[in-house]
Amino acid sequence: MTELDPVIHAAARLRITATLATLDPGESIAFPRLQELLDMTAGNLSTHVRKLEDAGYVAVEKTHRGRTPITYLALSRQGRRAFEDYTEALRSVLGERP
Amino acid sequence: MTMPDPPDLPNAPRDEDEPRDAAAMLDLVRSQQDRVTRQLAAEVPLILAAWGIAWFVGFGLLWLIDGAKPAFAIPLPLAVAVFVVLMAGALVATALLGIRSGRGIRASAESAFTGAVYGWSWTIAFVAMFVFGTALIRNGMPADVANIYYPTASTLLVGLLYFVGGGIWHAKPLLWLGGWIIVVALVAPFFGYPAHYLVFSLAGGGVFLVGAVVAWLWVRR
């Protein structure tokens, strides 16, 4: 690992990715709850989620609960792997044992 | 190994997107995940407090039916009624706070299955405990032994189910809580009626109340 993943190597997207990584694989979280956990504005979160989605790291599922539309977000398998590679790269840069 | 140059990120708000050094980024990961874990556990202190009050006051009242005579006594129907209301209240509080805590989070099929089976385990355990108690009474169990059986068997089941829950969700505090409650269930009946109720009140209710304070301090850290 010689280069840090530019998609995640940005504070806002790293926080989003780290938060989604606390969920179990297969779990997903509604946009407003994620926003609450991150304390980010909806617009800011949308912008960064779109970049993560474009990179294939975040899976976005738009669904309905009754008549209310809900957007569920989750790390894709690729995203989870990218996050693990990224944190491992940081630890090796810092000389921490994994 | 050297740090790479900051990557070029067009159209990004620079203040939030500026990559910091490796230590700061790793720190960001850890502090964010720690924060999320505590936010997701925000309802735990309230759930523990509800059970702490129910056990402490509920079993305390059952003890006061006969335990402090002749100085003081509470009528049996009143003590039992308040006990039932407190336990039911804690159950409802747990359900509502659990729903609140899981809002916006959609479980995977696997974790939904685990949760459902665990939930049914509680129902099955308590129905079985009451059916068994009824069978024992039919077979001549006297009322004073039933006074020992029901709270002890319930407490043992609560302890075991917490212990198992600790294993399922890798929650060490739940293991400790379950283990302690099992010990309470094993010790209390040896005190006999009515002192065993005082043991359930102080050692059982007490651990929930201590747990509530510890959890509250951790969540708010």
B160 vs B111, higher pLDDT: B160
State percent of chain B over pLDDT 90.
86
Residue B176 in this model has a pLDDT that exceeds 50:
yes
Tell me the whole-structure pTM to 2 decimals: 0.87
pLDDT tens digit sequence for B17-48: 556 788 899 999 999 999 999 999 999 999 99
- Set of chain A residues whose Cβ sits within 8 Å of the Cβ of B36: 18-19, 22, 37
Question: Is position A2 within any domain?
Answer: no
DSSP one-letter code for B204: I
Question: Is position A6 within any domain?
Answer: no
Residue B1 in this model has a pLDDT that exceeds 60:
no
Question: Is position A33 within any domain?
Answer: yes
How far from chain centre, in Å, is Cα A22? 10
Query: What is the mean predicted confidence (pLDDT) over B109-115?
Result: 92
- The whole domain housing A35 covers 11-91
**Domain total in chain A:** 1
Question: Is position A86 within any domain?
Answer: yes
The sign of the torsion formed by the CA atoms of B94, B97, B99, B102 equals negative
A1, A14, A44, best to mutate vs chain B, most B CBs in 10 Å: A14
Check CB contact of A95 with chain B, cutoff 8 Å.
Answer: no
Q: Which residue of B has its CA nearest to A48?
A: B12
CATH label of the domain that carries residue A74: 1.10.10.10
Question: Is position A20 within any domain?
Answer: yes
